[in-house]
Amino acid sequence: MNIHPLPGHPHVAQRDGQLHVEGVSLDALAREHGTPLFVYSKQWMLDALAAYQRGFAGRNALVCYAMKANSSLGVLRVFAEAGCGFDLVSGGDLVRALAVGTDPAKIVFSGVGKTRAEMRQGLAANIGCFNVESEAELDVLNEVALSMGKRAPISLRINPNVDPKTHPYISTGLKGNKFGIAHDHAPAAYRHAASLPGLEVVGIDCHIGSQITEASPYLDAMDRILDLVEAVERDGIRLRHIDFGGGLGINYQGDTPPAADALWQRLLARVDARGFGDRKFIIEPGRSLVGNAGVCVTEVIYTKPGEDKNFCIIDAAMNDLPRPAMYQAFHAIVPVHERSTDATIYDVVGPVCESGDWIGRDRALAVEAGDLLAVLSAGAYCMSMASNYNTRGRAAEVLVSGDSAKLIRRRESVEDQLLSETI
């Protein structure tokens, strides 16, 4: 058998001219489950996680998978069984995390707009920490905790005003962003938090953005956060953990982010030099654990020549793969079956009634109607952001492990969509 792994995707390979995820043919999965179809490699997720675990070897550390990247239960179970906690941003996320059997003490609750109901939900579950993002939230969480006879464990999410050098929509650590408490105001916010009887200050939190491909923003943010730890502890407030968020990028289009283990060895060397190596560390990776683990299999419906553009119209759309429409993001697109015919330059587009419904621009593809394509790097921020626009059902999902495949989400029907509606 001739096996040719795709560059940057070691668990996606052409085997005798057919694309496979691990040991399973994408053509066979498409025939069984239809298209569009998301297929995930379990081994890729575990390998990505292992890089973080190597970086934190010998440390008191907790990896909390950032659920917003992909919150499907089958994916969450992979990380729960591997010992991860979860970083969540809604009450619905909390229900999902608990449904896969995670220890509530391994859950951190982030987000700028937690409601009182969500606070009560987290307190009732005895989660490990609330990452608080404003002084107003401190006051409300204190009130809710006291009403329940509890103390809420909290860290403050600090905005260090560091440029992550990424797309502005996924930059979260600049002073113009909505996230976190301003770096200069943090000591006063910590003093206020420590004065509230319903709160227990346990840590400090920072997250500067997503799809970061350089080490320098992390190193800059680390220095600013450690400066704050020193300032806060001079006020007599002990911080037991340092939560440094996530945001490490993946290879979409020749991107070269640092390896997770190498990055964290550099960061922890700086932590040790500053005298904080004894602390507990929490990190919240999402995209880097699942992004390149997933592909979306889609069928070519038509090829449509035009005066200025040729179009390859597929059955996956912006409701399935929203990143190109939202961020002008790049996803590699490859044929499931190799053809020997000459390629044509196409814009790869979906059937949704929007000019923004495109998946790839100017791609060289040798395809005909009925062929299958694989949209790569589709494990993060695709299914979790999918919608029912144009009354389109969300795609099915399959988890592959070696030579076996398991359906972890059935395809959504129109009847499923109508269940909650009345005339």
Which stretch of DSSP H or E encloses residue 260? helix 260-273
Q: Is the dihedral of CA 347, 353, 354, 355 positive or negative?
A: positive
381 is in an annotated binding site: yes
Q: Which two tokens stand for residue 18?
A: 């057919």
State how far the Cα of 121 lies from the Cα of 101, in Å rounded to an integer.
Answer: 16
285 is in an annotated binding site: yes
The reply to whether 206 belongs to the active site is: no
3-state secondary structure of 313: strand
164 is in an annotated binding site: no
Q: In whole angstroms, how far apart are CA 402 and each of 11, 41, 396?
A: 10, 8, 19
284 is in an annotated binding site: yes
397 is in an annotated binding site: no
218 is in an annotated binding site: no
169 is in an annotated binding site: no
Beta bridge partners of residue 24, listed in sequence order: 21
DSSP state of 73: H
Nearest to 360 by CA among 323, 322, 319, 330: 330
Of 206, 312, 353, 382, the active-site residue reads: 353
96 is in an annotated binding site: no
286 is in an annotated binding site: yes
Nearest to 36 by CA among 414, 383, 402, 408: 383
Nearest to 75 by CA among 376, 363, 381: 381
Residue 360 near residue 315, CB atoms below 8 Å: no
State how far the Cα of 12 lies from the Cα of 41, in Å rounded to an integer.
Answer: 8
Annotated binding site: 247, 284-287, 323, 327, 354, 381
Annotated binding site for pyridoxal 5'-phosphate: 247, 284-287, 381
Annotated binding site for substrate: 287, 323, 327, 354, 381
Would you name the residues annotated as active-site residues? 353
